[in-house]
């Protein structure tokens, strides 16, 4: 792996583990076993590193949210969409955990984020129209964008919402699956009667995953899994 890629991927892991606000470039260099000079050779500052991580974020979204044809619809396809939503928030959770602050420090990144979200909203709307045209959802045209936007709002701000109401509870996979189940709840509210079982199966699938990642209590201690 090239040094710049090592810094990008390593910084992503460290930001997720310790929080972006708690990691300086010196912290990053020390944890990545490179000299500060070597880090600065590839990146001018921490904002530069975050922009490089954002490149990964954009690629992840592009690969995971592709439109489909109605005759391609399957349980596996829907699971892949929800998995992508979950994996995006999990893989880049440091960003979702501190999004307003990160964007306020970097106008260039804020513009990129807004454009990326605009494109993601358009893809989400196309997917919802495909589900409507395939008879899976009963939804009017004027409802499609607000529904897609509400889904995006839950994905982007679920971490902040939960931590505000739980005194900064550590972000675990169980934590995020709770948010994903809220999104499925929205889909169920618009599901046609003949396809309601699809979303019930999805709900059971992700509830089982949530249960598997819940905190396991051992005596008086708790271990997050």
More confident call, 218 vs 63 = 63
Residue 213's pLDDT is 83
Q: Which of 126, 124, 193 is nearest to 153 (CA)?
A: 124
pLDDT at 72: 67
Structural domains of the chain sorted by starting position, each given as residue range(s) with its CATH number in brackets: 1-44 (1.10.10.60), 57-223 (1.10.357.10)
Q: Rounded CA gap, 15 and 45, in Å?
A: 15
Averaged over 91-108, what is the pLDDT?
92
Higher pLDDT, residue 161 or 143: 143
pTM score of the predicted model: 0.84
Distance CA 19, CA 36 (A): 20
CA distance 165 to 172: 15
pLDDT exceeds cutoff 90 at 86:
no
pLDDT given for residue 214 in this prediction: 76
Q: What is the pLDDT of residues 54-76, one digit of tens each?
A: 999 998 888 776 666 666 667 77
> Are the C-beta atoms of residues 121 and 113 closer than 8 Å to each other?
no
Q: What is the pLDDT of residues 1-45, one digit of tens each?
A: 899 999 999 999 999 999 999 999 999 999 999 999 999 999 999
pLDDT at 7: 97
Q: What is the C-alpha separation between 67 and 34, in angstroms, rounded?
A: 42
Instruction: Please give the Cα distance from 151 to 131 (Å, whole number).
Output: 15
Average pLDDT over residues 122-150: 91
* Mean pLDDT, the chain, whole residue set: 87
């Amino acid at each position: 792996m090239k040094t710049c890629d090592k810094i990008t991927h390593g910084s992503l892991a460290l930001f997720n583990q310790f929080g972006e606000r708690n990691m300086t470039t010196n912290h990053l260099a020390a944890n990545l076993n490179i000299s500060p000079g070597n880090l600065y050779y590839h990146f001018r500052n921490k904002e530069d590193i975050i922009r490089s991580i954002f490149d990964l974020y954009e690629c992840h979204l592009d690969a995971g949210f592709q439109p489909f044809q109605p005759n391609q619809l399957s349980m596996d396809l829907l699971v892949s969409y929800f998995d992508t939503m979950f994996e995006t928030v999990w893989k880049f959770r440091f960003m979702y955990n501190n999004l307003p602050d990160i964007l306020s420090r970097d106008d260039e990144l804020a513009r990129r984020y807004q454009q990326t979200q605009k494109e993601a909203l358009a893809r989400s709307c196309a997917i919802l129209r495909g589900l409507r045209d395939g008879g899976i959802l009963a939804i009017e045209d004027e409802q499609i964008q607000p529904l897609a936007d509400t889904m995006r709002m839950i994905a982007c701000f679920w971490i902040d919402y939960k931590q505000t109401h739980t005194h900064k509870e550590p972000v675990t996979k169980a934590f995020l699956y709770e948010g994903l189940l809220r999104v499925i709840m929205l889909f169920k509210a618009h599901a046609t009667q003949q396809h309601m079982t699809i979303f019930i199966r999805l709900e059971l699938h992700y509830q089982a995953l949530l249960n598997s990642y819940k905190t396991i209590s051992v005596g008086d201690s708790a271990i997050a899994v």
